[in-house]
Structure 1
């Protein structure tokens, strides 16, 4: 488990700060290898006969932790990708249903309009012709009007394991994400601005560019146990999952930075 803060450790052990950047040390704390790094530094300056062998062993232990951490990142990213893909497929299904509905209504509107034109041409009575023309126009306009509105077709989706909830609620601990991943997402140093955590920035993007003043009911749908989704709801969910996946995958770059520092 990562420690909540490493300030005391860094002040007490300047050898770490001379060798590694704060960014790399925070990542080391995230994967729990700071004790190993301290031992490695001691071994590298030791004159003991077996110090070289012990140093190689410590080095390998740290690399193993890095590998496990990278695997966890890939696992979380794969789950986010799977959920996002599912939301995309369901949205596409509803979009296609709506497209077919619009096509049928538009075709009916054209047929009614054409039939009305033919009938009014054949009818000799002026009054009857007007009635038929008006009726046909109203019916055709009705079909066209219905085509202008999206369908209310829905799909019920339940998500007991909602990958969006902890990010939206800004929880300090997560029951879904591995502690190492959640630590990184909550640490300001790993964000571009270094002012707010990664999950804070993600939520801000959701609020500004995806949710757009969504209602409490919509928020309960996205971040709760699920419910009845329309096509636009699925698109919004897929968008949020994809943004989150991108942020999780970027953790591998931070792991790579620590690996490079270790190799120096």
Structure 2
């Protein structure tokens, strides 16, 4: 790629290095070279050929944009599903806590009434202690989250290749995977987008996760608790945002082509 650009200064004068890297990602460098040569010719035939070349490039850009939209939509769908399942388990846990709290209040009230009505001092003490223990038990149970789970299978796991930093992906389109793994497309140019995504997961989502949690998130599925679904949705949404941002690079190349 670099050797090609050094040999063709006409491209480097018109397009930025970033735009040319995007052009290389979608495979239109040869078309850009042909277009640049045709644009310097003013004959009607060459102008018509230049229009054809430009349309071919725009078609490639459209295909690339469609691939981005497709994988982003899949990420959005998976993230939404994880969010809905997390919400369901959260609501179940909230209802459980309300029931246990209500039972604790009822038992406390009943114990108070019973100890007031019972004449025997010893019996009153036994009832009071028993009621207090039972009420505290219900209150204590309410303080703990439910262990309820939902089984989720994801044979096509969109998180796996990012986590494992695989060189090739069977899930992402080659163009998208190339951009995610080329350092030049990240803000710092020091690490790839996929590397930065993985680091954000480690720092802000998985900082206290166990190997079992990681096997759940990045494997083929398993039994998810509410917090697990929240973590999965968070990672999918972060990844979706990064994938959608590739469209900005495509837009930059499109604008340069139109000049």
TM-score where L is the length of structure 2: 0.98
Q: C-alpha displacement at 1:111, in angstroms?
A: 0.1
Matches within 5 A, 1:118-197: 118-197=113-192
Q: Helix, strand or coil: the match of 1:227?
A: strand
Local SS of the residue matching 1:63: helix
Distance 1:106 1:141 in 2: 10
Structure 1 residue runs of 4 or more that deviate by more than 4 Å after TM superposition:
none
Instruction: Write out aligned runs for 1:107-122 (5 A).
Output: 107-122=102-117
2:205 pairs with one of 210, 213, 218: 210
Residue of 55, 59, 77 corresponding to 1:60: 55
1:205-244 residue pairs with structure 2 within 5 A? 205-244=200-239
Distance 1:144 1:213 in 2: 28
TM-score of the superposition, structure 1-length normalised? 0.97
Question: Take 1:10 and 1:62, find their aligned partners in 2: how far apart are those partners?
Answer: 18
For residue 22 of structure 2, what is the aligned residue in structure 1?
Answer: 27
Q: Distance in 2 between matches of 1:199 and 1:119?
A: 65
Q: What's the Cα RMSD here?
A: 0.8
In the alignment, structure 1 segments of 5+ residues that lack a partner are 1-5
- Number of aligned residues: 259
Q: Distance in 1 between matches of 2:17 and 2:96?
A: 58
- 1:213 to partner: Cα distance: 3.2
Deviations 1:72-114 (A, max 9, x none): 1100000000000000011011111101100000000000000
Match in the other structure for 1:3? none
**Equivalent-residue separation in structure 2 for 1:19 and 1:153 (angstroms):** 60
Structure 2: give runs of 5+ residues left out of the alignment: none
Alpha-carbon distance in 1 for matches of 2:203, 2:189: 20
- Distance (Å, rounded) in 2 between the aligned partners of 1:145 and 1:32: 62
In structure 2, what is the equivalent of residue 82 of structure 1?
A: 77
Cα distance per residue 1:144-186 (max 9 Å; x no partner): 0000001111111111000000000111111100011011101
Give a deviation string over 1:31-83, Cα, whole Å, max 9, x none: 11111000000001125441100000001111111111111110000000000
Q: Distance in 2 between matches of 1:202 and 1:244?
A: 7
Q: Distance in 2 between matches of 1:263 and 1:92?
A: 47
